[in-house]
Structure 1
Amino acid sequence: MLTHRSSSPATLCLSLLGLYFLGLVLSQPTANLSTTWAASSISSVSFGNGSPVGSVKPILLRGNDVPSFACGFVSMLSETSYLFAISIVYTNASQIDQTYTAFPEVVWAANRNNPMVNPTLELTSEGDLILKDGDGPVAWSTNTSGKSVVGLNLTDSGNLVLFDDNNVPVWQSFDHPMDSLVLGQKLTIGQKLVPSVSETNWTAQSLLSLSMTSTGLFAQMDTNPPQVYYPVRINFPNTSNDSNYIEFVNGTLALFTNSTRNGSVFINIPSASLFMRLEYDGHLRAYEFDTAKYQWTVAADILVRDYGDCGYPTVCGQYGICTSNGQCTCPDSNGGTNYFKQTNDRHPNLGCYEEVPLSCDNLQFQSLLELGDLSYFTYSTDPQSTPDLANVTKVNCKDACAKNCSCKAAFYVRGSNIRSDAGSCYLLSEVFSLMNLEQLNNSIGYIKVQNSSNKGGKTNRLGLILGSSLGSLFALIIVIGVIKVSSRKREVVDEADEDHLDQVPGMVMRFTYDSLKVITEDFSKKLGEGGFGSVFEGILKDGSKVAVKRLDGLGHIKKSFLAEVETIGSIHHVNLVTLVGFCTESSHRLLVYEYMPNGSLDKWIFCISSEYALNWQQRRKIIYDIAKGLNYLHEECRRKILHLDIKPQNILLDENFNAKVADFGLSKLIDRDKSQVMTTMRGTPGYLAPEWLSAAITEKVDVYSFGVVVLEIVSARKLFDNSQDSENTYLVGVFRRKAEEGGLSDFIDSHSEDMRLNEAQAVNMLRIAAWCLQGDSTKRPSMSTIVKVLDGLMDVPDDLEYDFSYPPLMKTSAKAPQEEVPYAASTPLLPSVLSGPR
């Protein structure tokens, strides 16, 4: 049944699944090194009504009753879509006819956002646990290669553990929680529970989270700043430190301080509860198994406050108002203009959207909609919350929001002294569910709205505009006629191209320009800017965040843009940023990408603040992720795709610091002169390989840029640093000098003690960078070779040259090191650059 290279105790366990599945404890639930499990070779055990959805292909088993844990492949989304997960199942073998009646409850998953059709799990001989989709690239890994791992174990509490010779955990699933806690599991500082955006959409994560801090336990919306809706603060003296944690123990959710049980805060939960889950609606629910009905039931709703469902930030969606009778409505202007509409008329709980998005470019057309007796969860559910402005009047509060472009709403809370007009003011940059409740009548809400135009214009001005316009009308009609005739043929071709794109299987979404204006709030939240255009934050109707890239100056290349969308949209790799959709309307060209919460890599490697410090394992994983992404573009697509602008700003990090390459394919969109197969030199000074000046361009230009980025990650220094003296300004030059002096260890980030503890590995990574920076492109390794070196399957050669060649233009561009610069020079570009993926 198993595809394996060596037998393990789990093999015997699985070979007897046809008898009782988990009904009998057949073997210790462990596995040895050099073992591979393919989902296609493991029999499914169905639950519930016998549907393939909800079935388990078990690998490791623990227990013969409730709770029983199964670690394996679970089809929770569809019958052909699997997660590698740990689930709780009911497996009472004494009642064979009632076994398998309850759906498995997934409490942890490795590939939560990336379900697979044909997953394969391997515990390598080096001690790394890796997950692939068929023969594809590694999609998930524990990154434990070379850490003395000797085996894999599923514990009695449902913790998946890689352990060493001393039975000490090297890696464990409990350190990487998803949305659930099981009995005996802790949530420590730095960890959080994050639910999916909906009950059926597991592939996108919500803004909701439950996290532990040095001052308490907080359920919140992860905005900037966070919006807390359920706080459990530690009020004991001298307890604010990094040793605090909560633990799900029998009948209690306990908060421990100073690593002891002294001064603990307890939240009582029914003792029969087996696990708890933070769910898409913000509730933290504990579940138990009903042995009479053979089904999972809610034992307790833990995060409950005085205001019922109205106290949860997503109950009525964005801008939705939750009322005492449980209804959801939109803000109303009391008989005036309706500024908001329901996102979905049949489902009011999905929230409201602005008829005219807010725009910082049109502040003169903005106003504040006053709504009396309107409250918000941040201060209503958290009396200790700190207002943005204290002891101010409601006029002061309103004016503060009006003058602040990022403010979308203000709430004025009256003070306890009824004779005083001084109160507290809360300013919001993100607006979620509002509250209109009888017991909360001490606050006033001001919702910022955008008027479509200046309605105070005078009649004579309007007449002047109309009169002057009529004079040009006839000429305009003639021009339109000529354009219409000359472009009719081209429009037919463009429409055919667009129709073709809509027929491509699995093609990404097509957005209208107006819809993108709505989800980006009229492009008001800029995430970044580069040579191809600007990037803005957006929120889709289901609450998931996206990044919208507005391409500048490309309105005339609609056909090339559509072809490029087809290319990028068909690429799917865990280390490439996913294209969600696109817009091609009139002269607008926009791309909608998945949102990466931790932003670009430069934010984390060039900041000496401890808040953004990366340890060695994180840096190594990021380098590995970049290499895997480039290897896919270079060698695993049907034809090669060159990136041509690898730099930290184009490497994005998700919530778990997994790195993904961005803007791949955009370089192909620029300068598409196929007749000459040429391209204008583009890129960022210092990251460009020497051959850009004289030779044919191959994938080795990306390898060179990758080497530069590795230097920056290991040293935590910018490529050009004008704060240094002249001989230390250019990072590659410093690296060359350190190598010649035999002092590569001096090149490692001096601010990180963890880097020093892993000095040998860091120095070897610098040798990989040197290999990539060879002046002769033929001496540089391929990205697949780099991946093998990082996997420990190959060594870096000893005959490296450290006399790196780099373009003289680099020296003259040092004053603007991070700007993408188009050069006037041209260089031959191999046809592979213009090829598409499979």
Structure 2
Amino acid sequence: MVVNYSVTLIMLSLLILSSQHLISCQPPEAFITNSSTSWINSRAHSYVVNSTDGATLTPILSREGNETLLVCGFLCDYNGTACVFGVLISPNTFDSYLSFPRLVWSANRNNPVRANATLQLRQDGGLFLIDLDGTLIWSTSTSGKVVAGFNLTVMGNLVLFDKSNDIIWQSFDHPTDTLVPGQLMVPGQKLISRISATDWNEGMFTLDFKSSGLSAYIESNPHQLYVSRLGVEKPFQFPGLSFSLKDYDSRGMLTISIAFLNARFMRLGVDGHLRVYHWRGSWSEEADLFTYYIDECGYPTVCGTYSVCGNGQCSCPQTAVDQTNFLQQINYRHPNQGCVLVTPITCEHSQYHILIELKDIAYIPLYLQYGTNKTDLENCKRSCLSNCSCKAAQFQFSGPNNTMGDCALLNDVFSFTNNDGASDKTTLFIKVQNSSNLQASPPLISTEKKSKRVPTIVGSTIGASFGLLFIVLTGFAYIFRGRKGLDEGEEEFLDQIPGMPTRFSYEELTVMTENFSEKLGEGGFGSVFEGTMSDGTKIAVKHLQGVGNVKKSFLAEVAAIGSIQHVNLVKLVGFCAEKSHRLLVYEYMANGSLDRWIFHGTWENSLTWDVRKKIISDVAKGLAYLHEDCNNKIIHLDIKPQNILLDHDLNAKVSDFGLSKLVGKDESKIVTAMRGTPGYLAPEWLNEVITEKVDVYSFGVVILEIICGRKNLDRHQDEDDMHLLSLFMIKAVETQLLEMVDKNSEDMQLHRKEAVEMMKIAAWCLQSDYIKRPSMSLVVKVFQGLVTAETDLDYSFTFPTMTRRVPGTNQERESVVGISLPLPSLLSGPR
């Protein structure tokens, strides 16, 4: 391998020099003149930078070079509902006008803000991005450091510096999907593609840099590599650009070594390609870097799912058995969209699963992680058939005349490739549903008995049939008339909701969930299934079941969150209202529900004090938004750990709005029947006159459960300690709250005093008189350190009781609803 030390040293020197000539927050050539330390994402000061999609830019800092113009600011979609704070690169036209810009870095790609969001520069903390509702979306995490200002260097590096011009924080340490000339990529950093050209959220492809080299993979379980150890095996160069890996001060370092100020950048694309773009009157592709390592068929999604790539063409593999074809093209005009199973596989009929053998076809990832070593072909097949999650299996023989080999079970299937003439002999099997076996055979009747009974059977059958037909037709007419009125009313209601999410057909959701085969959990109104959209985005699909309650739950949930978006609310991607089918489609939450982490043994130790504190803060922000920032006040009515979901980074989001209530802004109280989960119900429920403070009470219970690491009713405890709120009252009077902090977590024990302060906020939320409870926005301000919490608290909590008849008697007795066992929920997996 040839190492270009001189070029790398030059690039390092240029990086150091550009970082030393730092200026104050006001650059000499800025689009706006503002010396304050707060910038508002104002549409009045923005201008359109992309006429195709109407994207607008509100600039903050700019830097001009020979061929490039760099600017940092707010980039928004056409209506200002999704904005990111980032850095853009543009060709320099020497007229201070940003033309054809490209986003090369963003702070909040997964958590967009809205118009009128604010970027703050604080001397004691760095940069803070705050949404319109006061929610902290992003920060440089430099609290406690004295910040003199920030600057945009000529290479596009956003830098925080102190009074000595030393770098405190820089955007180059946190790449997104793009590298610019002179930017170094060091071990531990990643590039993650976007979902699409207009959707900045993290997509499916990742370029991971480790000391052993670069690896590119697609997000799946497990990760599926399609490029491995790049830069170690095949370094390459071409005019104007070198791309290599070298050892430098005991660490690897990747750099694009090109002319210093040329208008170029390198990006990991939405299709997994790593391309370099150069300005030549337009942004043109200069190089496709992975081309030197893999061909076009080496990319996992080049032909979609279940499709074969070969000779520049995409086609469905031949899977016909006994004149039954198991795969079909999704779109015959666009074969690169892939294929789909004619009959989706389902675990409920796993006895009818079969494997279709594909000769001379291999799975596209070049570096499969084989789960079983030194097994035979038949055992590999049996392993896939016995594992419902397995969708395909690839067997790689150890040698040309060997019957043993390695077996890889695939839970996610993308594209295939022709394997003619390959040195490694492989056999690929696709799991399919043999639908012909699902048809039940009619019962057999002997010929002799059948002939004797024909006259009797015919006469009675005709008479009975007319009577039955009349009853059935009458019933259908009644049901159809009622159903028609229901659907028309529901359709009218849905059409009146502004900003409705995507409406899916039942057939589309059946394909996305592979016939609802992967169940994530189930609750009172139905089951939740894992699914994948055509662009690879994972989703969770709630299939509602029932009649009256289902309609209410469905309409309530669509009305509540169909048109709102907040970083701490689970996003409703879409819905289905087709005939009797009612389904809700949500964003996928990889770490499941909160109860999984605080109630179940091995998960407890994973949550540190900082993580628990952030989860509590996230939930508070989500509820504050529902109560105060929506067009209509939304009272959730069912706050509990099972309805708090965690994403890949353990960010908390409130979910399940099936019981929620929409309230007008001018309404202070509402009257409604008791709803929610026992154990989290506020005492005022007995009067059926409630406010949003019932959510505050439930939130207080959840805080205690998080801090104590146990349920509010735990029958495994001693009788005196069984009820958490009763124990809380006793320990508060005895000033022994330290004893309640989760004993199963070593980290929590190190932060017991801080945890007790959080428990006092819970007590504030649990006040029996709802007027004395804080609003959720006030709780958020306490967490942000803007106000102090109330200290004059009453620990004599009351719980709602309701009269229940004793089975088998005429007697009635009171049962405590507020601390009774919560309704069971299995929704603790990813969803």
* TM-score calculated relative to the size of structure 2: 0.80
Residue 475 of structure 1: how far off its partner (Å): 4.0
Q: Which residue of 1 aligns with 2:216?
A: 219
1:212–1:751 distance in 2 versus 1, CA, 3 Å: farther
Query: Cα distance 1:470–1:220, how it changes in 2: closer, same or farther (>3 A)?
Result: farther
Corresponding residue for residue 318 of structure 2: 332
Tell me, yes or no, if structure 1 residue 451 matches structure 2 residue 434: yes
Q: Which residue of 2 aligns with 1:279?
A: 269
The residue type paired with residue 601 of structure 1 is: L
Tell whether the 8 Å contact from 2:594 to 2:641 is kept in structure 1 after alignment. Answer: yes
Partners of 1:89 and 1:699 lie apart in 2 by: 47
Out of 363, 366, 370, the residue aligned to residue 353 of structure 2 is 366
- Aligned partners of 1:317 and 1:432 also within 8 Å: yes
Residues in 1 aligned to 2:484 and 2:79: alpha-carbon distance in whole angstroms = 41
Query: What's the counterpart of residue 135 of structure 2?
Result: 138
In 2, Cα distance between equivalents of 1:400 and 1:462: 41
Change (3 A) 1:253 1:797: farther
Amino acid at match of 2:794: E
The separation in 1 between residues aligned to 2:230 and 2:601, in whole angstroms, is 30
Specify the alignment match of 2:774 in structure 1.
Answer: 781
Partners of 2:111 and 2:567 within 8 A in 1: no
Say if 1:270 and 1:299, in contact at 8 Å, map to a contact too: no
When structure 1 is superposed on structure 2, of 350-359 and 724-733 the one drifting more is: 724-733
List per-residue Cα deviations over 1:395-439 (Å, max 9, x = no partner). Answer: 2222221222111111111221x3321121111111111111334
Q: Indicate how the Cα distance of structure 1 residues 66 and 792 shifts in structure 2: closer, same or farther if over 3 A, else same.
A: farther
The verdict on how the C-alpha distance between 1:542 and 1:304 changes in structure 2, with shifts beyond 3 A counting, is same
In structure 1, the residue matched to 2:806 is none
Map 1:46-445 → 2, pairs under 5 A: 46=49, 53=54, 56-65=57-66, 68-75=69-76, 77-78=77-78, 80=80, 83-90=83-90, 92=92, 96=94, 100-112=98-110, 114=112, 116-117=114-115, 119-123=117-121, 127=125, 129-131=127-129, 135-138=132-135, 140-142=137-139, 147=144, 150=147, 152-156=149-153, 158-161=156-159, 173-174=171-172, 176-182=174-180, 183-186=182-185, 189=188, 192-203=190-201, 205-212=202-209, 217-232=214-229, 251-252=242-243, 254=245, 261-262=249-250, 264=252, 275-287=265-277, 289-290=278-279, 293-304=280-291, 307-323=294-310, 325-334=311-320, 336-378=323-365, 381-382=366-367, 385-416=368-399, 418-440=400-422, 442-445=425-428
**Looking at CA atoms only, which structure, 1 or 2, has the larger radius of gyration?**
2
| Aligned-partner residue type, residue 83 of structure 2 | L
Secondary structure of the 2:249 match is strand
Q: Which residue of structure 2 aligns with residue 828 of structure 1?
A: none
Match for residue 522 of structure 1 among 506, 515, 518? 515
Distance in 2, Cα, partners of 1:56 & 1:681: 46
Aligned-partner Cα distance in 2 for 1:402–1:739:
56
Distance 1:147 1:367, change over 3 A: same
Q: Residues 9, 307 of structure 1: CA spacing in aligned structure 2 closer, same or farther, 3 A cutoff? A: closer
Q: Would you say the 8 A contact 1:376–1:435 is kept in 2?
A: yes
Matched, 1:546 2:539: yes
Q: Tell me how far 1:144 sits from its aligned partner.
A: 5.4
Q: CA deviation at 1:187?
A: 5.4
Q: Quote the residue 2:677 is aligned against.
A: 683
Are the structure 2 counterparts of residues 453 and 761 from structure 1 closer, same or farther at C-alpha, using a change threshold of 3 Å? same
Aligned twin of 2:473: 481
For 1:332 and 1:551, the matched residues in 2 are separated by: 37
Change (3 A) 1:90 1:307: closer
Aligned-residue Cα RMSD (Å) equals 4.1
- Check whether the contact 1:712–1:718 (CA below 8 A) recurs between aligned residues: yes
**Identity, % of aligned pairs?**
43
- Aligned partners of 1:43 and 1:752: how far apart in 2? 49
Structure 1 residue runs without a partner (length 5+): 1-7, 19-25, 237-249, 670-675, 822-838
Letter aligned with residue 317 of structure 1? G
Q: Deviations over 1:339-390 (max 9, x none)?
A: 2222222222122111111111112322211110111134xx22xx542222
User: Aligned runs of 1:428-827 on 2, under 5 Å?
Assistant: 428-440=410-422, 442-454=425-437, 461=444, 473-487=465-479, 489-500=481-492, 501-502=494-495, 504-554=497-547, 558=551, 561-562=554-555, 564-606=557-599, 613-667=606-660, 678-685=672-679, 687-693=680-686, 696-722=689-715, 724-745=717-738, 747-749=740-742, 761-806=754-799, 819=824
Q: Secondary structure at the match of 1:454?
A: helix
SS at match of 1:599: coil
TM-score by length of 1: 0.79
Offset of residue 760 of structure 1: 5.9
In the aligned structure 1, how far is the partner of 2:641 from the partner of 2:289?
A: 42
Alignment match, 2:7: none
C-alpha deviations, 1:656-706, integer Å up to 9, x for none?
A: 43321101243559xxxxxx9542443043x33334456633322211221
SS in 2 for 1:679: coil
- Over 3 Å counting, the alpha-carbon distance change for 1:590 and 1:427 in structure 2 is same
- CA change 1:58–1:65 in 2 (3 A) is farther
Q: How many residues align?
A: 761
Q: In structure 2, do the counterparts of structure 1 residues 623 and 455 end up closer, same or farther at CA, with 3 Å as the change threshold?
A: closer
1:38 to 2:52 alignment? no
Query: Structure 1's 82 and 524: CA in aligned 2 closer, same or farther, altered over 3 A?
Result: closer
The alignment partner of 2:193 has SS state of: coil
Provide Cα deviations, 1:63-121, integer angstroms capped at 9, x if missing partner: 4345653210224x5475653332342464xx636964543333224244536455443
Contact 1:269–1:286 under 8 Å retained in 2: no
Tell me the secondary structure at the aligned position of residue 701 of structure 1. Answer: helix
Q: 446-455 vs 806-815, which deviates more? A: 806-815
Alpha-carbon distance change, 566 to 90 in structure 1, aligned in 2, over 3 angstroms: closer
CA contact (8 A) 2:360 2:419 kept: yes
Asked if the contact 1:598/1:652 (under 8 Å) is kept, the reply is yes
Deviations 1:419-471 (A, max 9, x none): 3211211111111111113343711111011122327865764999x999988
Deviation at 1:126, TM superposition (A): 7.3
Q: Residues of 2 paired with 1:795 and 1:362: CA distance?
A: 59
Structure 2, unaligned runs of 5 or more: 1-22, 234-240, 451-456, 663-669, 802-813, 827-831
Instruction: Tell me, yes or no, if the aligned pair for 2:361 and 2:420 is still in contact at 8 Å.
Output: no
* Distance in 1, Cα, partners of 2:147 & 2:256: 39
State the secondary structure of the residue aligned to 2:500: coil
- Looking at structure 2, the residues matched to 185 and 265 of structure 1 have their Cα atoms a distance apart, in angstroms, of 6
